[in-house]
Chain A
């Protein structure tokens, strides 16, 4: 338990000091902050690309399967937070928490990705003004 706590705390600390990257666009220009989504599904495609990385999941509800895209930070940003290419492979089950695209498509902004090893990684783009963004939280 102590080990788990320490790992979680260290990961959170690493997120806290991750170098800020320039947001490619504002969170609010694309995603609906009133529509949180949790997706649990099997990884069908991985795109380690710029300006965003994408994880695609087959999500099953009531026997029906649909494919969803999960937009997250660029590969360099994820890597600096401890989320490396080798941490996932096709067929893995991921849990992705985020917000639905305003255009209603099956695309979410992945603010939190829970990996097969249990780690939860911040997936957003710093400076985009989205939830959890260390670069643009409302000043407390």
Chain B
């Protein structure tokens, strides 16, 4: 009975915490307190940060635009069509998500800030290293997934200026929106207090977008969490066995991914309702 009461109390606590947020999966409120300072006097962003549950539609770089409509150029429209119809999600192939996708997705990340360098540790072994030693962009940087990233401080705001990206295998977000190799991305990160991290993002990509794209979102501190080992190519049969199709699948009118209508699953089995195998019509149980 004590066990039942404890579990019920735990459940109520969790449900209460999540009810304060805008969608399921959100965490309890982050810790409160002043912004920590690094040894150089700047705000220290070190910590594990996870989505605050308020980014709607998540994984969509156009979430802050009216109707979530991105201002595609003709080339951008064509690139989007190509991604949807012919490109298997680069992240599912274990390629780095790049920027802005890592900023738009739902995955948490760990930030490590040391003198002269800031490091982002993402899922699936992806990382980015941002120099903050005062260097400038080089004359002819090698193209890479995250581009040539230069960090600097604008007061208490950490600014990352990125150029020189690869011209293939990159989606701007989970919806397969395109970005070109010639984009210029400016991230402005701030930590207004100990528990919150905020990003204001600018994407200038005149090859694919008629206007610069502005995007902002926030993360909350997740004490005790860290980026874990995830060997992305360990057993990636979705790709190696060809199960995964091109594109992100259907995009709903609200800017999220998925089917508008789903056939429901049967209710969970119980002793009074024992389970038996149910296959869709026409599907045979043959190897």
Q: Which residues of A contact B235 (CB under 8 A)?
A: 47, 49-52, 54
Q: Please pick, from B10, B24, B238, B248, the residue contacting A137 in the complex, using a CB distance under 8 A.
A: B24
CB distance from B57 to the nearest CB of A (A): 7
Q: Mark B6-26, 1 if CB is under 8 A from A, else 0.
A: 011011111101100011111
Complex contact A34–B285 (CB within 8 A): no
Q: How far is the CA of A97 from the CA of B9 in the complex (A)?
A: 29
Q: Please pick, from B7, B58, B277, B279, the residue contacting A136 in the complex, using a CB distance under 8 A.
A: B58
Q: Mark B232-256, 1 if CB is under 8 A from A, else 0.
A: 1011111001111111111010101
Question: Quick one: closest B residue to A65, CB to CB?
Answer: B285
Q: Is B36 an interface residue (CB 8 A)?
A: no
Complex contact B14–A35 (CB within 8 A): no
B: number of interface residues (CB 8 Å): 85
Complex contact A22–B8 (CB within 8 A): no
Complex contact A35–B280 (CB within 8 A): yes
Question: Quick one: closest A residue to B101, CB to CB?
Answer: A22
Give the A-B pair count, Cβ closer than 8 A.
260
- Given A20-B25, A136-B256, A137-B23: A26 and B11 within 8 A (CB)? no
Complex contact B15–A64 (CB within 8 A): no
Looking at chain A's contact residues, is the secondary structure mostly helix, strand, loop, or mixed?
A: mixed
Q: Which of B147-192 contact A (CB under 8 A)?
A: 174
Complex contact A28–B124 (CB within 8 A): no
A: number of interface residues (CB 8 Å): 79
Complex contact B243–A30 (CB within 8 A): yes
Q: Which residues of A contact B222 (CB under 8 A)?
A: 19
Q: Mark A31-47, 1 if CB is under 8 A from B, else 0.
A: 00111111111000001
Q: Which residues of A contact B221 (CB under 8 A)?
A: none
Question: Quick one: closest A residue to B283, CB to CB?
Answer: A100
Complex contact A66–B286 (CB within 8 A): yes
Q: Which residues of A contact B56 (CB under 8 A)?
A: 139
Q: Which residues of A contact B57 (CB under 8 A)?
A: 136, 139
Q: A residues bordering B, Cβ < 8 Å?
A: 2-3, 5-7, 9-10, 12-14, 16-30, 33-41, 47, 49-52, 54, 59-62, 64-67, 71, 74, 76, 95, 97-98, 100-107, 111-112, 114, 120, 126-131, 133-139
Between-chain CB contacts (< 8 Å), 19 pairs: A13-B12, A17-B18, A17-B27, A19-B225, A22-B123, A28-B259, A29-B244, A33-B259, A38-B265, A38-B266, A51-B124, A51-B236, A51-B238, A59-B285, A103-B242, A106-B287, A112-B265, A136-B57, A136-B256
